[in-house]
């Protein structure tokens, strides 16, 4: 049995407290694969110009170094409000000062972090742990109380049985939905989606085509 947990926790107990103090409208989201290597993560920033977001991240005590990987150029044909939001979207690679924040490290070590988004000085986290007992380490790693939103127990087989997609295909389609790739206009490009998944854009394109074919065939057969 696996445990799905959703909770919030102050940025002061995780990371980026200073960045949110400088830019209250900043929104940060950890990439789906949380870490690229030891102590490094991919993060999306929205709500603040890429240069300002990068500077705020670099100045934060929890981060040692920041590299901007992509930034929207604002050339999409969108409505003004959508265009402003698109121009503020960027992907950065960050090197944590003391390694991955402890609460995220505990979850990533014993389970899987599905989503971690920080906004208005709080982190909102969704993760899967092997069992409820393993969540004890998460509580111990926190410097502040978690605000639990939900805890659900389920089986891995039950989750996998809902679709005939492979794990990679399911991860890619899920990320595409999560980042509004299917919206009109698209909120992210294929290249940005690939950067979030830490794979080539050709690999993402191939996964999506095969996933769409599988899902379309399944829908027609039903």
Residue carrying structure tokens 């929104």: 27
Q: How many CB atoms lie within 10 A of CB 167?
A: 8
Helices (H), 71-166: 80-87, 102-110, 135-141, 156-160
State the Cα–Cα distance between residues 76 and 88, nearest whole angstrom.
13
What are the helix and strand counts (H, E) for the chain?
9, 8
pLDDT by residue for the chain (222 residues), tens digit each? 677 778 888 898 889 999 999 999 999 988 655 555 568 888 989 889 999 999 999 999 999 999 998 865 433 333 344 444 445 789 999 999 988 777 777 666 666 777 788 988 999 888 777 777 777 666 666 666 778 887 777 655 544 444 567 778 888 888 888 888 887 778 888 888 888 888 888 888 888 888 887 777 766 655
Cis-peptide, bond into residue 185, ω within 30° of zero: yes
Note if the pTM is more than 0.75. Answer: no
| Residues 6+ away with beta carbon under 8 Å from 82 | 76, 185
């Amino acid at each position: 049995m696996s445990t799905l947990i959703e909770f919030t926790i102050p940025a002061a107990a995780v990371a980026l407290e200073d960045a949110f103090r400088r830019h209250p409208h900043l929104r940060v989201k950890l990439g789906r694969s949380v870490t690229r290597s030891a102590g490094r993560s991919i993060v999306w920033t929205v709500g603040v110009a890429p240069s300002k977001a990068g500077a705020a991240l670099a100045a934060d005590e929890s981060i040692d170094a920041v590299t901007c990987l992509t930034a929207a150029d604002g050339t999409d044909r969108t409505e003004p409000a959508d265009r402003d939001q698109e121009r503020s979207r960027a992907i950065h690679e960050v090197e944590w000062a003391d390694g991955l924040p402890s609460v995220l490290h505990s979850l990533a070590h014993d389970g899987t972090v599905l989503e971690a988004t920080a906004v208005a000085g709080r982190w909102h986290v969704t993760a899967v742990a092997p069992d409820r007992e393993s969540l004890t380490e998460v509580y111990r790693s926190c410097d502040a109380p978690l605000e639990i939103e939900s805890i659900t127990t389920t089986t891995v087989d039950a989750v996998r049985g809902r679709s005939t997609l492979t794990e990679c295909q399911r991860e890619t389609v899920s990320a595409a939905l999560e980042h509004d790739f299917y919206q009109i206009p698209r909120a992210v490009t294929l290249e940005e989606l690939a950067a979030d998944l830490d794979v080539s854009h050709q690999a993402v394109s191939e996964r999506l085509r095969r996933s769409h074919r599988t899902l379309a065939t399944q829908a027609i057969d039903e």
